[in-house]
Amino acid sequence: MTPAQRAFERLQAWPDLSAGPASCGTGRALCSVRDEIVHFHSDRDVDLHLTHRAIQRFRYDLGGSTAIRLVPGSRWVTVHLDCDADVDLLLSLVSIALKAHQSRPPADLAPGPPGPTALSAPPGCNFRRVTVLPRAAAGEA
């Protein structure tokens, strides 16, 4: 079982998340009532939807992790899953994302009727915008 599969199975059991297709068209997503939270694009690469405020709050911690890639201006962070510690990091960040999205003001919600069509999926998750090199190769440059 790949790290992404392990993470997906663990997160899918959370009562605040439900599975569906990713709005970017590639992979599976886990969604809260209000937003898409996680896109699973491959066996190792996952995009996590954080709020701007959460990214700013944890910017230095996120930037210091070899598993995290930030794209300027994006509310998504890419998590590269190589080991169990990366899966644990993702689960912790999903918890932060859920709390951040639940505390967002209602004015930030996507317009439309309640239900799945009202999910806010900001354009431009990081799929195809981030290239993740294996950690060994990244350190040899």
DSSP string covering the chain: --HHHHHHHHHHTSTT-EEEE-TTSSSEEEE-SSBEEEEE-SSSEEEEE--HHHHHHHHHHHHT-TTEEE-TT-SEEEEE--SHHHHHHHHHHHHHHHHHHHTS-GGGSPSSSSSGGG-B--S--STTT-----HHHHHH-
**pLDDT value of residue 82:** 93
**pLDDT value of residue 102:** 85
**pLDDT value of residue 88:** 96
Q: In whole angstroms, what is the distance from residue 116 CA to residue 71 CA? A: 27
**pLDDT value of residue 126:** 81
Q: In whole angstroms, what is the distance from residue 125 CA to residue 75 CA? A: 8
**pTM metric for this prediction:** 0.78
Q: In whole angstroms, what is the distance from residue 134 CA to residue 74 CA? A: 23
Under-50 pLDDT residues of the chain: 107-122, 133, 138, 140-141
**42 Cβ contact partners less than 8 Å away, ≥ 6 residues apart:** 4, 27
Q: In whole angstroms, what is the distance from residue 60 CA to residue 106 CA? A: 28
**pLDDT value of residue 103:** 79
**pLDDT value of residue 4:** 95
**pLDDT value of residue 51:** 87
**pLDDT value of residue 112:** 34
For the chain, give the mean pLDDT: 81
End-to-end CA separation in angstroms for the chain: 30
